[in-house]
Amino acid sequence: MGAKIGVFPASGALGSSIINHLVKLVPESDLVLSARHPEKLHDLKQAGATVRRADYDEPSTLDTAFEGVDVLMLVSYASFEIDHRVKAHRLAIDAAIKSGVKHIFYSSLAFGGDLTNHTIAHVMGAHIETEKYLSSLQDKISYTIVREGLYTESFPIYTAFFDPQDPADDVTIPHSGTGPGVAWVKRDELGEATAKLIASYVNNPTSFKYVNKALLLSGSREISLAETVEIIGRAIGKPLKIREISVDEYVKLPQIGDKHTYKGVNLSREWATAWEAIKRGEAAVVSPALGEILGREPESYETTIQALIG
């Protein structure tokens, strides 16, 4: 029987992608999958995976979620608020240690440049704190931090929720579109590479080169925000450009609504720090790691966008 691999949360977009690729590399019976809605994992349970209910927002459910797990894939809490998110991550990490987990893979984010601990992106704040927390626990558990590149599929949150089905005439964001850009990456390729990393560690922990280290998974090309929206425009058959606005104007855009509101607090202004971070090159670093792990060139932004909305 192989090492038991836990994935939590297991039914979100990234977690599901990781699992879909893990089952090609290890038997389903080696998987322990925890999710807020375990019924979504019915087919995997039928195939032999252990399925449990666990929820970041119900800490007591974490007490038994990781029992028997050797290696845990901890997918970050779905929010960009900092304090609650850090607390949730710490509770999950502490529960994993208490349950005897030996190694944690943590899904971080590709702000902060070339694996630095410095960022002005509010969305990166909880990730940095969680990375530091894991680093402080090396006497209790080993870890690998996977800074997952900015998903191509997440373009709406970087384009003021531009809707390809009902396209506006321009993209209004607090950024000119010029300067350093983003090394966009297809989410399912991140899932595939992360699954391969986990399987590599499980197969031979002593030779795994990312023990107590971080790595960056990015796309193979940095793309300015101006080109980012031009490519979206070509996919929908409409010329598209950025019209720069102020942060004050951004937070008042009608399409924003409550999309940046968490637990009753509007964080639109905090979200806008992501564009300042992009201006400073935090998301522009291109790493060869993704292609090396996949064994092929990562899919281009253009190809992914065309498949998404073309």
- For 33, the 3-state DSSP assignment is strand
pLDDT confidence of residue 1: 63
Radius of gyration of the chain (CA): 19
Fold entry, domain 5-150+184-217: Rossmann fold (3.40.50)
- List the chain domain ranges: 5-150+184-217, 154-180+220-284+300-309
State the pairing for strand pair 261-262/265-266: antiparallel
154-180+220-284+300-309 CATH fold: UDP-galactose 4-epimerase; domain 1 (3.90.25)
Measured CA distances, 173 to 14, 157, 180, 275 (Å)? 26, 10, 15, 8
- The answer to whether the CB of 299 falls within 8 A of the CB of 153 is no
pLDDT for res 306: 97
Q: What is the pLDDT of residue 264?
A: 86
Q: Say whether 24 sits in a helix, a strand or coil.
A: coil
Cβ-based burial of 240 (10 A; exposed 0-12, middle 13-18, buried ≥19) = buried
Per-residue pLDDT of the chain in tens (310 residues, 90 and over written 9): 689 999 999 999 999 999 999 999 999 999 999 999 999 999 999 999 999 999 999 999 999 999 999 999 999 999 888 999 999 999 999 999 999 999 999 999 999 999 999 999 999 999 999 999 999 999 999 999 999 999 999 999 999 999 999 999 999 999 999 999 999 999 999 999 999 999 999 999 999 999 999 999 999 999 999 999 999 999 999 999 999 999 999 999 999 999 999 888 899 999 999 999 999 999 999 999 999 999 999 999 999 999 999 7
pTM of the model: 0.97
